[in-house]
Amino acid sequence: MAMGGIKPPPVFVRRLLRLVWPVVAIAVTFVAAPVLVAGALWSVVDRRARLFRATGMLLLVVWLDQQLLWGCWRLRVQEPLGSGPQWQADHEKLLVDVLDTVMRLARKWVGFEVRLDAVMDFGEPDRPLISFARHAGPADSVAVAWLLSRTAGRLPRIVLADALRWDPGLDLVLTRLGSSFVPSASGAGDDRLLGVRRLADSLAPKDALLIFPEGENWTPDRRHRRIERLRAAGQQARLRQAERLRNVLPPKTKGAIATLMARPDADVMIVAHAGLGRLTSPRAIYNALPFDRPFLVRTWTYAATDVPRDPAAIETWLADRWSEIDAWVDAQDE
């Protein structure tokens, strides 16, 4: 789903949502329970049990989001001042525990399984890590964040669309963890880069920063619209790149440039994944349940000294990396 065109709720609405969200969860459960039962009965006909799996996973996600919200409330009661290393560590544990549960249940209910194509290199342990990841398919941002937290031992700071503030659980926990909610491109100007620069400046040696340079999930329609916008703008070099790329959108470079220039000491990881990227609509995802292909991940890591820091060079370097991602995804026959 494209999030960039959805405006975030005002502050008072965000606070109200936190209060009414448990009521919404109960209402969703009452509505979905008969569908879950019907799906269980219908699985006699549909041996893939898609209705049962989809409804069950929806309910699990709704209540895990409640777990995030209630966990944040509990931590506020335990630590009223809301500051200090323990405050940060407790919220990181809360989020990682929920991510663990989501990934475990997603594998059990819908066959969402993360596999590595090669051993991951997380760079030097005494340097921060900046990760630029492909954006495509269902739940890819959740899977990449979970993989970094569990495999690298680094819970990443995340740059994400501010429309996600409509989810009270994610809004509260990620705000407390210092993630950056990026405004819509419409009229945002340089405000879109302020949070990115802030996160980059605040990275400690063992921290990771996760960015999705494409800005939205790949779909054929979005690829076509991106190409048409570049053609209309007369950006011939980027247009030629976009036309060559079949499985990814050409990366937007302002955030990457701001990040890499702010942290010349950071190693850089490029994250590609394949297997589910062609599932670009709710119907396609539903029809594919349970998934018969893994969420296959491949990474390339570059030492800080091997990554350019000049804006023009960064743009060229990132374009080359995205061409490599595109070729790798092609080779997986996604």
> What's the CA angle centered on 278, arms 277 and 281, to 5 degrees?
105
Q: What is the pLDDT of residue 41?
A: 97
Strand partners, 131: 210, 269
Q: What is the DSSP string of 37-85?
A: HHHHHHTTTSTT-HHHHHHHHHHHHHHHHHHHHHHHHHHHHH-TT--SH
C-alpha torsion 81→17→21→160, nearest 10: -80
Say if CB 259 and CB 209 are below 8 A apart. Answer: yes
Alpha-carbon distances, residue 131 vs 33, 60, 94, 256 (angstroms):
40, 29, 22, 10
- Taking every pair of C-alpha atoms in the chain, what is the biggest distance, in angstroms? 60
**CA-to-CA distance for 120 and 271, rounded, in angstroms?**
10
Q: Burial of 268 by CB count in 10 Å (0-12 exposed, 13-18 middle, 19+ buried)?
A: buried
Residue with structure tokens 């950006």?
A: 235
pTM above 0.85, yes or no: yes
Q: What is the pLDDT of residue 1?
A: 42
Helices marked H in 111-209 — which ranges? 140-151, 168-176, 191-202
Q: What is the pLDDT of residue 144?
A: 94
Domain ranges of the chain: 11-331
Q: What is the pLDDT of residue 8?
A: 85
Q: What is the pLDDT of residue 152?
A: 76
pLDDT in tens, the chain (334 residues): 445 567 888 999 999 999 999 999 999 999 999 999 999 999 999 999 999 999 999 999 999 999 999 999 999 999 988 887 899 899 999 999 999 999 999 999 999 999 999 889 988 888 999 999 999 999 999 999 999 988 877 778 888 888 889 999 999 999 998 888 887 654 445 566 887 888 898 888 888 999 999 988 999 999 999 999 999 999 898 899 999 999 999 999 999 999 999 999 999 999 999 999 999 999 999 999 999 999 999 999 999 999 999 999 999 999 999 999 999 999 998 7
Say if CB 258 and CB 284 are below 8 A apart. Answer: no
Q: Strands (DSSP E) along the chain, which ranges?
A: 114-116, 129-133, 157-161, 180-182, 208-211, 267-274, 295-302
Q: Are strands 295-302 and 267-274 parallel, antiparallel or unpaired?
A: antiparallel
Q: What is the pLDDT of residue 3?
A: 54
